[in-house]
Amino acid sequence: MPQLNDRVETHSRVPDTANAETTDTVVIKTPEKVCGMGHRMKRKEDPRFIQGKGRFVDDIKLPGMLYMSIVRSPYAHAKILSIDTKAALAMPGVVAVITGQDLKAAGNLHYMPTLMSDTQPVLPIDKVLYYAQEVCAVIATERYIAADARELVVVDYEPLQAVVDPHQALKDEIIVRDDKEKKTNHVWHWSAGDKAATDAVFARAAHVVKEKIYLPRIHVCSIETCGMVANYDKVREHMQIYMTSQAPHAHRTVFALVSGIPEHKIQIISPDIGGGFGGKVPVYPGYVVCAVASLVTGKPVKWIEDRSENLQADSFARDYHITAELAADANGKLTGLRVKTISDCGVADAAANPSKFPAGLYSIATGSYPLEAADIVVDGVYTNKPPGGVAYRCSFRVTEAVHMIERMVDIMAHDLGRDPAEFRLANFIKADQFPYKSCTGWVYDSGNYEAALLKAMAMIDYAGLRKEQLEKRARGVLMGIGISSFTEVVGAGPAADFDILGIKMFDSAEIRIHPTGKAIARLGTKSQGQGHETTYAQIIAEELGLPAADIQVEEGDTDTAPYGLGTYASRSTPTSGAAAAMAARKIRAKAKKIAAYLLEVGEDDLEWNVDRFQVKGSPDQKKTIQEIAFAAYTNHPPDIQAGLEATDYYNPPNLTFPFGSYICVVDLDTGTGQIKVRRFVAVDDCGHIINPMIVEGQIEGGLTMGLAPALFEEIVYDENGQNLTGTMADYLVPTAVESPKWELGKTITPSPHHPFGAKGVGESPTVGAPPAIANAIVDAMWHLGVRHLDIPITPQKVWKALREHGVGN
């Protein structure tokens, strides 16, 4: 497998395209009964969810099913002296206890490869490496018996000193992975941009600002934890797996490679998923042990994490320690960016990035600004923490990049005494510069940053707020206004650059039209709540004129869906969404031949009109898509085959670059440090919109997920590697009570290369919101001398900063 040490990022050439016009009106071309793109169609999946009739992994009950419970380490770093399983095995109902030794004996399954070509312990033999690490697993006839027996397993540990700070880890005094040949905690070094050019830009810069920014480890905290039901049939030599998987096909391939079970003998079914947000992309040890448990016992085995296990052992994101410098010329034009970053990987580089991008798409860090040069460096480091690197509702490290650049631009604006909005407007990449090639190699497909920010400013009355701020400041009342004008990069991805373990990151759709004009569509992605059953049906309805209500959409079963790389990083619309349109267009091409045959005209005499082919100039001579579908099975032209179906594997020519401008207004209580987000305006641009209601839902949810790390969420470890935030009483997830009323606006700048001009949207708000909130809080205190606060910005941090700067002493 490829090694990721010392990589320099490169990008393939992408085709030239012209920038698109910006509007703010959603295009609707089909009538209500067809419900194609642009309609606010109610979600087809919701009737089953609101009636409690969803089918999640934990709803699966198979005859004779056993239950698995995992014994976890109380230490972050310790030798395992012995594991005594006798008492547990003696408990009535216990069927087996699986240890690392058992996995080793079963064919070296005690280690597994990660998606980043690193290795990760499944169950340890000699040493535990992180708090809550899986140590062994108890299999029993009842879930509660398995949990009780877990308490009877006696593990004798010899505690070792842990290293939890990656800067300390880089000294290599404690080696986290002494199973590796190289005795170092330094995992990889990656760079993008041009160091020499950046040094030259900084040498001639009139202004430079520098800041250390930490984006702490956070957790995706989806409502449903991770789980699996593994069902190995010894007679058929067949493994059926129900799994909380955002990428079932990729997981099937990984399982086949690791276990040696032939891939056609593995079926992975991802049923309904209660939120993924990137946390259900990696393969966690529990999945592997559960599958082995079924192999060993010959029975179906269920494993469902409880809330604490989920919060302590997996689904961790961020943990980036950033030092950034931003340069500007004498006129305040931004010119250069220098970024050094330490990525805390935990005990393994198990991030779910595309293989060639160990730091994900972090090199989008130049953001919405036409910099002359950038030098971006990241070093991956092992520490005694669970593996991190989950792309939590973000396209592989874009959240980190956007937070950094939007904080730095604000600091520069304030340092230069410029208004942050006016400063951004002066510095943006201009609409006529698209397609725009950034100095780190990305080709932004389309954009109009000025339009989005001006709209947000108008919606919130920016000028009025600045007046109010001045007037209040004179009275010692603190309010702040924060802006974030972010550029996203989603839709991984073009096969030339994007793969996971060598599998190219295309995605797929297969559509079959039945004789009565109803249809089934299967796709390689997997919804976790995004509403794919509705929006894919709307895309096909738009292309074929079949009512969206007549199109059944299925994802997540590897035996039926075409191969795909799954849903994360807002890639579904740019990839499978495009494949759905392309497959539908193939069907329309065949439908045209059938219509020409039925109407006894040439194909050139026909034109498409919403749901029918009609003779040009004679619209009464027509065949509807339903009539054509029937003919495809009953009366098709003799020289073409029966049936009406098509498959498309779509390799996008480029990524899509959604963007937006967010403005946040906060009020600070100088007595308590309390932060009130008084207003938050979000103007998003995701190109053409399939379903405005779903897009608004994605944005509102995503904004709350952006509020979370900005003000509340952080996974904290003590110096021994103990997780101090391992319960929901310590890890503060915002609810509706903490969320402000989100005020949404939009601009529409289509993607010029996407088949219907759409860009992804799911993660834009999670990426864009934190810097807007942080910028607002610092803006409220800048005049006191506060330059930066790391997120989460808690009332304690504000209170302390105010006291340190002379307020309230």
Contact status: 399 vs ligand CDP (CB under 6 A): no
Residue 161 bears catalytic tag: no
- Within 520-539, the residues that bind ligand CDP by CB under 6 A are 530-532, 535
How many residues of this chain bind ligand CDP (CB under 6 A)? 23
Q: Which residues pair with 593 in a beta bridge?
A: none
Q: Which of 294, 487, 570, 747 binds ligand CDP (CB under 6 A)?
A: 570
Q: Which of 695, 708, 710, 715 binds ligand CDP (CB under 6 A)?
A: 695
CA distances from 168 to 77, 265, 323 (A): 15, 46, 16
Q: Which residues pair with 210 in a beta bridge?
A: 325
Contact status: 571 vs ligand CDP (CB under 6 A): yes
User: Is residue 350 within a helix (H) or strand (E), and if so which, with residue range?
Assistant: none
Q: Which of 310, 567, 654, 661 binds ligand CDP (CB under 6 A)?
A: 567
Give the interface segment with ligand CDP, choosing from 338-346, 565-573, 610-618, 707-715 (CB under 6 A): 565-573
Q: How far is CA 233 from the centre of its chain?
A: 34
Give the interface segment with ligand CDP, choosing from 51-59, 583-591, 612-620, 689-697 (CB under 6 A): 689-697
Residue 731 or 756: the one with the smaller Cβ distance to ligand CDP is: 756
Are 317 and 276 within 8 A, CB to CB? no
Q: Which of 83, 109, 408, 689 binds ligand CDP (CB under 6 A)?
A: 689
Q: Which residues pair with 229 in a beta bridge?
A: 242, 302
Long-range contacts of 13-16 (CB under 8 A, 24+ apart): 14/435, 14/443, 14/494, 14/653, 14/654, 14/753, 15/653, 15/654, 15/753, 16/435
Q: How far is the CB of 23 from ligand CDP (least distance, A)?
A: 14
d(CA 473, CA 807): 12
Q: Which of 511, 615, 631, 694 binds ligand CDP (CB under 6 A)?
A: 694
Q: Which of 360, 652, 687, 771 binds ligand CDP (CB under 6 A)?
A: 687
List 555, 627, 714, 763, catalytic entry:
763
Q: How far is the CB of 528 from ligand CDP (least distance, A)?
A: 7
List 133, 246, 469, 614, catalytic entry:
246
d(CA 1, CA 799): 50
Contact status: 20 vs ligand CDP (CB under 6 A): no
d(CA 533, CA 537): 6
Contact status: 698 vs ligand CDP (CB under 6 A): yes
Are 140 and 149 within 8 A, CB to CB? yes
d(CA 637, CA 483): 60
Q: How far is the CB of 698 from ligand CDP (least distance, A)?
A: 5
Q: Which of 222, 399, 572, 723 binds ligand CDP (CB under 6 A)?
A: 572
- Rounded (to 5) percent helix, strand, coil in the chain: 30, 25, 45
Contact status: 578 vs ligand CDP (CB under 6 A): no
Residue 120 or 766: the one with the smaller Cβ distance to ligand CDP is: 766
Residue 300 or 531: the one with the smaller Cβ distance to ligand CDP is: 531
Q: How far is the CB of 765 from ligand CDP (least distance, A)?
A: 11
Residue 407 bears catalytic tag: no
Angle (nearest 5°) at CA 517 between 513 and 523: 35
Residue 393 bears catalytic tag: yes
Residue 57 or 758: the one with the smaller Cβ distance to ligand CDP is: 758
d(CA 314, CA 392): 12
Are 362 and 291 within 8 A, CB to CB? no
List 393, 424, 522, 679, catalytic entry:
393
- Residue 293, SS3 per DSSP: helix
Q: How far is the CB of 742 from ligand CDP (least distance, A)?
A: 16
Give the interface segment with ligand CDP, choosing from 12-20, 556-564, 687-695, 785-793 (CB under 6 A): 687-695
Residue 386 or 750: the one with the smaller Cβ distance to ligand CDP is: 750
d(CA 487, CA 492): 15
Contact status: 44 vs ligand CDP (CB under 6 A): no
As given in the structure block, the two tokens for residue 492 are 């991984």
Give the interface segment with ligand CDP, choosing from 84-92, 280-288, 599-607, 757-765 (CB under 6 A): 757-765
Q: b/e map of 278-305 (b: 16 or more CB within 10 Å)? A: bbbbbbbbbbbbbbbbbbbbebbbbbbb
Residue 366 or 572: the one with the smaller Cβ distance to ligand CDP is: 572
- Within 493-522, the residues that bind ligand CDP by CB under 6 A are none
As given in the structure block, the two tokens for residue 342 are 């330490």
d(CA 245, CA 566): 9
What is the rounded radius of gyration, in angstroms, for the C-alpha atoms of the chain? Answer: 27
Beta strands 66-72 and 301-304 are: parallel
Q: How far is the CB of 690 from ligand CDP (least distance, A)?
A: 3
Q: How far is the CB of 525 from ligand CDP (least distance, A)?
A: 6
Q: Which of 778, 724, 726, 115 is nearest to 484 (CA)?
A: 778
Q: Which of 100, 367, 493, 760 binds ligand CDP (CB under 6 A)?
A: 760
Q: How far is the CB of 795 from ligand CDP (least distance, A)?
A: 33
Are 751 and 446 within 8 A, CB to CB? yes
Q: Which of 451, 686, 772, 802 binds ligand CDP (CB under 6 A)?
A: 686
Residue 248 or 762: the one with the smaller Cβ distance to ligand CDP is: 762
Give the interface segment with ligand CDP, choosing from 138-146, 336-344, 677-685, 691-699 (CB under 6 A): 691-699
Residue 286 or 701: the one with the smaller Cβ distance to ligand CDP is: 701
Residue 763 bears catalytic tag: yes
- Residue 27, SS3 per DSSP: coil
Exposed, middle or buried, 3 (CB in 10 Å: 0-12/13-18/19+)?
exposed
Q: How far is the CB of 573 from ligand CDP (least distance, A)?
A: 3
d(CA 82, CA 77): 15
Residue 350 or 758: the one with the smaller Cβ distance to ligand CDP is: 758
As given in the structure block, the two tokens for residue 24 are 């703010």
Contact status: 703 vs ligand CDP (CB under 6 A): no
As given in the structure block, the two tokens for residue 70 are 């995992």
Q: How far is the CB of 214 from ligand CDP (least distance, A)?
A: 27
Beta strands 519-523 and 551-555 are: parallel
- State residue 688 phi and psi, 5-degree precision: -65, 145
Residue 209 or 580: the one with the smaller Cβ distance to ligand CDP is: 580
List 394, 439, 664, 686, catalytic entry:
394
Contact status: 690 vs ligand CDP (CB under 6 A): yes
Residue 347 or 695: the one with the smaller Cβ distance to ligand CDP is: 695
Q: Which of 124, 278, 709, 762 binds ligand CDP (CB under 6 A)?
A: 762
Q: Which of 30, 120, 558, 573 binds ligand CDP (CB under 6 A)?
A: 573
Question: What is the CB-side half-sphere exposure of residue 184 using CA atoms within 13 A?
Answer: 11
Place of tokens 């961790």: 316
End-to-end CA distance of the chain: 59
Residue 643 or 692: the one with the smaller Cβ distance to ligand CDP is: 692
Catalytic residue IDs? 246, 393-394, 763
Binding-site ranges for ligand CDP (CB under 6 A): 530-532, 535, 567, 570-573, 686-691, 694-695, 698, 758-762
